[in-house]
Homo-oligomer: A and B are copies of this chain.
Amino acid sequence: MSDSKVASMHDAVAELVRDGDTVAIEGFTHLISFAAGHEIIRQGRRDLTLARMTPDLVYDQMVAAGVARKLIFSWLGNPGVGGLGGIRRRIEAATSAPGGGDGRLPRLEVEEYSHFGMVARYTAGAANLPFMPLRSYFETDLPTANPQIREIDSPYGDGKVYAVPPLKPDVSIVHAQRADRDGNTQIWGLLGCQKEAAFAADRVVVVVEELVDEAVIRADPNRTIIPGLIVDAVVVEPYGAHPSYVQGAYDRDNRFYLEWDAITKDEAALQAWLREWVLDVDGRAAYIDKLGPDRVAALRPSGTAPSGVVDYGAYR
């Protein structure tokens, strides 16, 4: 990469995502960087620990492609549709074994929390805290399944809560509506845990629909979710979130999520899909071309919904 943070997806992944890394591609249904996930597959990364609240289709694809050793998560599924076969076959007894073999896939290591636990882990990571307390996990089997979830006494003598440890990804990758060249990033709509995941990470890649002038960002500083200070690369990749969505730009491609159900149930179909849509495609622009203009056009919002303008006032 040059001095500028603006980079191609190829270069950003080549430089910033390394074998063995803990990688968080975050975004709660909204703004999921499928483009980054596909590039990581194409570059053949291995032994990644993939962290994400909702592994979703993007991690189903990455796990099926063999990039991952371990999964850290809180909800594993295709929401409203069904399961993630690529991941499930790497966990369930009939289809996987530690180390693989015997026609079985290598067992994926899992480290499991609740949603609040995952959010709290990123928050602790971002805030450089050794733990975050939360009122969850009481009387459940989760602390047994995951000994990282620990009881802690309140220092005020009013009982116990649970703690989760910080999660500090080596790389967090976040899709957004817009950023400037320095990586100052603005998001509207669902915010998920992207801010926390970015501040917690050692390296940050921001993927945007649109690169804007610094003045656009500075006109509305309350909308800035991630400061350029913590961003290592800015990748401009329109439609980089498909089949996930970008508020105001394009809709969630629910048809794709529904169709995925049949693909993910069948390992051969899933591998064929990866060949056709990831390995044999040289980047996001080609993927969108292949998707076709009609499919893309159908994802446009049904109308506009402008935010209105607020006045910060000039003070000289």
Contact = CB atoms under 8 A, between A and B. Distances in A.
A155 B131 contact: yes
Nearest to A250: B313
A301 interface: yes
A173 to B, nearest CB: 22
Given A163-B155, A177-B310, A247-B313, A305 B131 contact: no
Interface stretch (A38-46, A81-89, A217-225, A279-287): A217-225
Interface string A132-161: 111100000000000000111011101101
A313 B159 CA distance: 46
Nearest to A178: B310
A247 B312 contact: yes
Interface in A248-293: 248-249, 251
A186 B156 CA distance: 35
Contacts of A302: 313-316
B129 A161 contact: yes
Contacts of A155: 131, 150-152, 163
A216 interface: yes
Contacts of A134: 129
A1 to B, nearest CB: 29
Nearest to A251: B315
A192 to B, nearest CB: 12
A298 interface: no
Given A133-B129, A161-B129, A313 B307 contact: no
A306 B301 contact: no
A308 interface: yes
A220 B170 CA distance: 34
A99 interface: no
Interface in A12-33: none
A306 B315 contact: no
A312 B135 contact: no
A226 to B, nearest CB: 14
Contacts of A152: 152, 155
A186 B131 CA distance: 32
Contacts of A316: 302-303
A249 B315 CA distance: 11
B165 A312 contact: no
Interface string A204-245: 000000000000100110110000000000000000000000
A191 interface: yes
A229 B313 CA distance: 30
Interface of A: 128-135, 150-152, 154-156, 158-159, 161, 163, 165, 177, 186, 188-189, 191, 216, 219-220, 222-223, 247-249, 251, 301-316
7 contacts: A129-B161, A130-B154, A189-B222, A219-B307, A301-B315, A304-B313, A305-B314
